Amino acid sequence: QVQLVESGGGLVQAGDSLRLSCAASGRTISTITMGWFRQAPGKVREFVAAISRIGGSTSYADSVKGRFTISRDNAANTLKLQMNSLRLEDTAVYYCAASRNLAGVSPKRELYDYWGQGTQVTVSS
């Protein structure tokens, strides 16, 4: 069993930066594929970024590529998401997720088994 707790969300202005954290317990995060997803009001939960357990490969949604960076702090057993140049359309609840079986990265939310409670990110103009 893996427990995930997100933090770092908040209200920022367009163009600002924010860093999300996801503290994991129950497993060492370097041994599992993990990802970030987000869900805006009235929309389905969508893939943002993932990092694989093998090799640390990363993958990003086209909408965040070049602006967001996913990383692991193995010493703290924490997943990070650095978000730069935030846009109004980045407003959403951001969720951390972990997969029991994935070796590589995947944008498919059904392949992730464990989810955090989410943290709200609001970008204003």
CA distance 31 to 54: 8
CA-wise closest residue to 33 among 104, 110, 81: 104
Mean of the per-residue pLDDT values of the chain: 96
What's the confidence (pLDDT) of residue 96?
A: 98
Provide mean pLDDT across the span 10-28.
Answer: 97
What's the confidence (pLDDT) of residue 25?
A: 95
Provide mean pLDDT across the span 36-61.
Answer: 95
10 and 83 in contact (C-beta within 8 Å)? no
Over 90: is that where the pLDDT of 55 sits? no
Q: Percent of the chain at pLDDT above 70?
A: 100
What's the confidence (pLDDT) of residue 54?
A: 84
CA distance 70 to 112: 16
CA distance 99 to 111: 6
What's the confidence (pLDDT) of residue 37?
A: 98
Residues 70-74: contacts with CB within 8 Å, 24+ apart? 70/35, 70/36, 72/29, 72/30, 72/34, 74/28, 74/29, 74/30
Provide mean pLDDT across the span 97-103.
Answer: 94
pLDDT band for position 44 (cuts 50, 70, 90): very high
pLDDT band for position 71 (cuts 50, 70, 90): very high
CA distance 69 to 59: 9
